[in-house]
Chains A and B, each alone.
Chain A
Amino acid sequence: EEEFKWLLQEEVHAVLKQLQDILKEASQRFTLPASGSGGAVKQENFVLSTSGTDQVKGVLTLQGDALCQADVNLKTPRNNQLLHFAFREDKQWKLQQIQDARNHVNQAIYLLMNRDVNYQFKTGSEVLKLMDAVMLQLSRARNRLTTPATLTLPEIASSGLTKMFTPALPPDILVNFYINLNKLCLTVYQLHVLQPSTTKNFKPAGGSILHNPGAMFEFGNQRYEVSHVHKVECVVPWLNDALVFFTVSLQLCQQLKDKISVFSSYWNYRPY
């Protein structure tokens, strides 16, 4: 019993402090614009590359949770024509995944900050509840980064992304940006229009992270088929750090929960 008291009073706070430090570190990676530093968030350039062919090349500039510049060079395989397009000066593309992950982390930090050192935990279940809430936020933050949204092709086609480029994207090209684990990915779909008379039986493709050539969809009364898919990606180092932090803090949380459960199992008749 004494030991449990010690656990509640000392150990829990130590773990919470540790968690806070880790998460603050993680949250700094996300460089929140309003975090007080004031000035512009630093921009980072990333060169997109594929291992094999060099049909798609690009340079992306990431500013916090937003892509502020993108330069994409595309070599179309049909006529070896080189296409170049970039973001319009006035436009930014929010990477929803990063924003969500950042918000989840901040929520977790907020939860932890509410119990500062002076706070006395009285019951184990109190700690368990707090840990559950924190873990929920953390696992969501991690899941946002590890699982990109599954989009259908019409959704990609109708997203605002297509209108952001100058010169405007040709109608037979779709682009999509997303985060997968620690990588920033760009997929370029080349389409060709399906003639209404075509004998191919039309089957619209469902939602997917990455569509394969041959996927078909209908958009704006036109039927399209994906002819080529190019996927280029680059590693964002700080995303990797953040993911590691998430994993470590999740484990810390679970360990704390386990410690408390061990005690509870010794006391049979008492609600812990």
Chain B
Amino acid sequence: MKVSVQAVAVWGKIAPSHSITAIMITDDQQTIVTGSQEGQICLWDLSSELKISSKEILFGHTASVTCLAKAREFEKQPYVVSATENGEMCVWNVSSGQCIENTKLPYRHTAICYYHCSFRMTGEGWLLCCGEYQDVLIIDAKTLGVLHTLSSSQSSDWINCMCIIHSARVQEDSLVAVSVTGVLKVWDLSSSLNSIQERQSVCEKESKSLDCINCQAVRFCTYTKRLLLVVFSTCWQVYDYCDFALLCTEFCKSGQCFAGGEVLAAYRLIIWTEDGHSYIYQLLNRWAQMGNSHKKFSGLSKSTYPADGKVLKETVYPHLLCITGVKENKSFPFVMGFMNERKEPFYKVLFSGEASGRITLWHVPDVPVSTFDGSPKEIPITATWTLQDNFDNHSMSEGIIAHLDTSKDGIESAVVSSSVYIPSLDKLVCGCENGKIFVTLGLKTARARLLENISLLKDNLPYKVLNGHSSRVTCLLYPHDKSVRFDPSWLLSGGQDSFVICWDIFTGGILHQFSLQSGPVTELLRSSENYRLKDHSIVCCVCSDHSVAILHLQKRVCLLHARKHLFPVKKVKFDLVENLLIVGCEDDSVYIWEIETGTLERHETGETAKAILTSIEDSEYLVADALLSVSQESKRNKNAGYKHCSSYKHGMVSYNLTHTEKSSDKLTDTSCIQQPFTIVPVKTKWNNANFHILLFDLEKLEELLLSSQLNGLKSSNSFHNYDTLERAKSTIEKRALTLKRNKTAGSISPVDGQVDTACLNQDCRDSNAARPLEESGGMKRQKKMKSSRKIRMQPPGNIDVNVTTDTAKLLLSCLLPWGVDKEIDNHCVRHLDILRLQCPVSFGLVSNETHLSLMFPGWKCTDCGVREEHAVINLFSKRVLDLSNKYLAATEGQTAKKDGPENNVYGTKGLETVFFFSRIALINRIINIPSAVTFHKLCMCFSGKSGYHFPDFGSVSLLKLICCWGDQSIKIIEAMQAVLLAEVQMTMNTLRKTAICREPLAIVENGNGKLRTLPKTEKRDLQICNTLKIFLCHVVSVLKHDKSSNSADFQDVEDMPDRCVLEESESPGERHLKTVTKYQVP
């Protein structure tokens, strides 16, 4: 099952650095895909007018990306495969940003070619890979497993580059490859399909040494079907493919290196260099009569030659036609590519990516010509873009705590240099460039950052500033997080000034200051769980001069400062028995220190070092994890039982957190609550850009909401008659009372939470009149939350309902397309207490534990034409509107239903939030699940619920609709937004109706009665299906939809009866049981 986590990115001012190492344009010329040295992949939108804008960033790789290639027939599935320096491979859906498949193999690929032969192959095709291993690997494009190798019979070596040649003449596909030593090899593909499938060894057909090294590209001219272009770093050569005779050679200018080339048209080539220049050549062919001595071409090409037996030797001369170049010499290594499309809507595009992260695009004319005097003509740059451009153009780009700073002193806000989120306290700790540390409440901060019109929130946002460091705070650690033996009040920070300060997080006071005097502190690590040798409050500290300090927090002394390491520290371990500190360095050497005396006991390299490190594996060690900027190796934290999916340092942190959540969830550990909301600080490798990801766990949140809804129901019964303002006031007063009682009691009972929700609901309802009141209430709530949090520290078993609803509302705010309809906006703000967004948010898509894609700021409406309305923000695409209309149409029948109990609907406005929320969660689930393979599980889990939905008729078609969306590769986020919009619209309509006219309601209902009969028959069929439980293959898909729709209705039902029968305070479970019994009998 997939994780139902929604991610929202809060970007900073600076774009994450992205040193492009690989670039490609998808076949539809709509997306540019780039891979970076940092390990992420960026998707850039390329409009039909050749405008570039960055769209999404994909996390998941832990090392530098080496190559990108398409992984399917692009028209069918927009999949792209990426490979990295450490052998990871990943298939991405570039239209949704989802990770489809990933693997890690012990091979480093430098080039991948997709090969698919539809009529002779089963499966999704092959990825032909070459890299730092001998010869060519065949990898299954679907499973990413190694199928076979193409081996060489002689001079086998690494392959530098390759290309696939489709020869129509012989009906044969071949792979032409050039090895590092400059040997050109040809393998037959189509004729060796069988032997590959049967795993017989396949050897090359031809092998010829070209006497030149550092081959950069090999390309076949599909126009003449004869010329083979081979680009070396020092020269490029053209060969005759028939006999591999050298036709021409052109050397590069001194100081330049050729980096690649492509055939533009017959006898026309484009060659580009490392430094971003490109040259278009025309090959002037001259036919020369040669003697018979050269007669050594293959029989196939004979037909093209005159029949008189004389052989024509072709010689070609290159003539420079056009050049392109970057204006100012940016002098980064460039990665370039060329996209050659002959079809009309497409362009001939030369593109390049720089190490600085800039993409440049040239539109190469169909017929390039030189200037009249014969000198080469320069083709101008068509478009250029960097990530930073996106960040500069959009107002939302400010750090997560930026508003704190500005509100305080008005000067330019300090850049956050490191941060940590403490889930158990909901505290976000941010260290800044100027040495200050801000401690705020995570959820409140996020709300204040994202939502508008909540100046009160901003003003009341409780935060503390810790002043202690004189320069940049480089790392933060809250050791209590993972191991309880640390005092919960301890917060550690390390700074550029080489100080490590131990703070009391509650009072903000400095407990101790360790002065290390060895350069900036790069890393703080807690010692592992079972290290009980000393009073076990030991923290390890890595400095930028590669020294390691062991700090004893309780005694407030530095036990050991090991300073001899020449290379960056990769691993830190403890040997319990001997009381040793074992430090593993980047260069695979190992230093062993005696903690007691502080002396270096041993220094080992090579095999011995490895052996030492592995032998200690089982005993105690610290993991130098994510943040250690020098190491990106994956390390496992075994003691906690979950993997540190050491994705790229960003991803890593985030996954640590999600994992913790999960593991704690599994363990049902009472001491650890699974928070539905987390903030994940993210740090980039090369620059100081920092951003945060808000993670919302939909399932968990829904679960919590439903339980709180129940509670809320109960309490709203008790408060049911409190309709007037005065009474609302009294509620608040009453709550304040309970609040006080709470404080004195020192713990919150679940009941209080319920009361709170109830009050909240009341507040929302009395929107206008009670506004000021609500505000004051809100303030009180805040205080209460604060206090309750403090209390919660001791018994952390309770989850504040307020937090839950606030979280849900925040997410809803993020999801709603604001500005589409003023009424809807107002409705949301006034009635539902869902606040308007300050600016569009960037959503993310979590594909699994380690793979995540995030939208860039300002990416949303380049393709939606609603731009003219300035008010519209946060609409993901135009399609959303259509979708929501469809949805509305499909839910007509349901609306009638809702109209029925309109009084009650009105009565329980606060629940709407919950309702919307469960809807979203549901859609998320529907769209996720059918694509998952675990279909049967699904059936099992839904068949139990299938009986429930009968009272609600309209929604079957509706759910079908949603399922169809899932199939139509409509993004989850779009679907969620559409449904949400429609639902809000619907409830608003309902409201309006009830407010203005009550009588027409009956008519409406009558009108809908007809509608209802239709689905009824449908329903019956479905029922039969259910009873028979026939899971026949081709019915499966339909059934699947029905099943999930059932579950969806289950949600509705749950909601509807709750509204209808407010008086009943029974749990939905009982409720459903009733419905089941009622409707199970047909």
Q: Name A's B-contacting residues (CB within 8 A).
A: 32-35, 94, 96, 99-100, 103-104, 106, 110, 113-114, 116, 118-120, 122, 125-126, 128-129, 132-133, 136, 139-140, 143, 146-147, 181, 250-251, 254, 258, 261-262, 265, 268-269, 271
Contacts and interface: CB of A to CB of B under 8 A. Distances in A.
A103 B606 contact: no
A124 to B, nearest CB: 10
Contacts of B586: 139, 254
B795 to A, nearest CB: 42
Interface in B594-619: 606-607, 610
Main secondary structure of the interface of A (DSSP, over half): helix
A239 B332 CA distance: 34
Contact of A146 (B213, B214, B607): B607
A254 B415 contact: no
B19 A268 contact: no
Contacts of A113: 257
A126 B686 CA distance: 9
22 contacts: A33-B181, A96-B134, A99-B134, A99-B157, A99-B158, A100-B158, A103-B157, A103-B158, A114-B333, A116-B255, A118-B255, A125-B686, A129-B19, A133-B37, A139-B587, A146-B606, A251-B566, A254-B566, A254-B567, A265-B544, A268-B472, A271-B14
B182 A34 contact: yes
Contact of A122 (B331, B433, B686): B331
A114 B157 contact: no
B825 interface: no
A166 B227 CA distance: 44
Given A119-B331, A139-B588, A268-B472, A100 B132 contact: yes
B209 interface: yes
A8 to B, nearest CB: 12
A126 B355 contact: yes
Given A32-B181, A94-B156, A250 B85 contact: no
Given A114-B274, A119-B331, A265 B519 contact: yes
Nearest to B17: A125
Contact of B331 (A120, A125, A258): A120
Interface in B205-252: 209, 211-214, 233
Contacts of B355: 126, 129
Interface in B535-576: 544-545, 566-568
A271 B257 contact: no
A99 B687 CA distance: 37
B180 A106 contact: yes
A143 B588 contact: yes
Nearest to B329: A120
Contacts of A103: 132, 157-158, 180
Given A116-B255, A129-B19, A251-B566, 14 more contacts: A32-B181, A34-B209, A34-B212, A94-B134, A100-B158, A103-B158, A119-B331, A129-B355, A133-B64, A146-B606, A147-B610, A254-B566, A265-B519, A268-B433
Contacts of B520: 265
A126 B471 contact: no
Contact of B332 (A33, A104, A118, A126): A126
Nearest to A147: B607
B496 interface: yes
Contacts of B434: 268
Nearest to B519: A265
A258 B181 CA distance: 35
B384 interface: no
Max chain B C-beta neighbours (<10 A), residue from A120, A140, A258: A258
Nearest to B183: A34
A261 B545 CA distance: 9
B686 A110 contact: no
A261 B544 contact: yes
Contact of A110 (B233, B332, B545): B233
A33 B154 CA distance: 14
A181 B520 CA distance: 36
Interface in B480-537: 496, 519-520
Interface string B322-358: 0000000001110000000000000000000001000
A271 B156 contact: no
A265 B274 contact: no
Contacts of A251: 566
B664 interface: no
B544 A110 contact: no
Interface residues of B, number: 49
Contacts of A34: 181-182, 209, 211-213
Contacts of B588: 139, 143
Nearest to A145: B606
A125 to B, nearest CB: 5
B96 interface: no
Contacts of A269: 415, 433
Contacts of A106: 180, 213
B612 to A, nearest CB: 15
B688 interface: yes
A128 B686 contact: yes
A34 B211 CA distance: 6
A129 B37 contact: yes
Contacts of B19: 129
Contacts of A104: 132
A202 B37 CA distance: 47
B578 to A, nearest CB: 26
Interface string B576-587: 000000000011
A122 B354 CA distance: 14
Contacts of A120: 331
A271 B587 contact: no
Q: Which 7 A-B pairs have the closest CB atoms?
A: A271-B687, A34-B181, A125-B686, A265-B520, A146-B606, A268-B472, A268-B471
Contacts of B233: 110
Nearest to A96: B134
Nearest to B589: A247
A265 B544 CA distance: 9
B587 A110 contact: no
Contacts of B687: 125, 271
Contacts of A133: 37, 64
Contacts of A147: 607, 610
A32 B544 CA distance: 39
Nearest to B38: A129
A96 B134 CA distance: 8
A110 B331 contact: no
Interface string B138-158: 000000000000000000111
Max chain A C-beta neighbours (<10 A), residue from B37, B209, B587: B587
A41 to B, nearest CB: 12
Contacts of B471: 268
Nearest to A135: B586
A115 to B, nearest CB: 9
Max chain B C-beta neighbours (<10 A), residue from A34, A96, A103, A147: A34
A97 to B, nearest CB: 12
A250 B587 contact: yes
B204 to A, nearest CB: 15
A251 B587 CA distance: 9
A114 B331 CA distance: 10
A174 to B, nearest CB: 21
Contacts of A125: 17, 686-687
A119 B355 CA distance: 15
A185 B257 CA distance: 40
A216 B568 CA distance: 41
Max chain B C-beta neighbours (<10 A), residue from A125, A250, A251, A268: A268
Contacts of A136: 85
A139 B606 CA distance: 11
Contacts of A140: 132
Contacts of A110: 214, 233
B246 to A, nearest CB: 16
A137 B441 CA distance: 45
Interface string B303-339: 0000000000000000000000000000111000000
A173 to B, nearest CB: 24
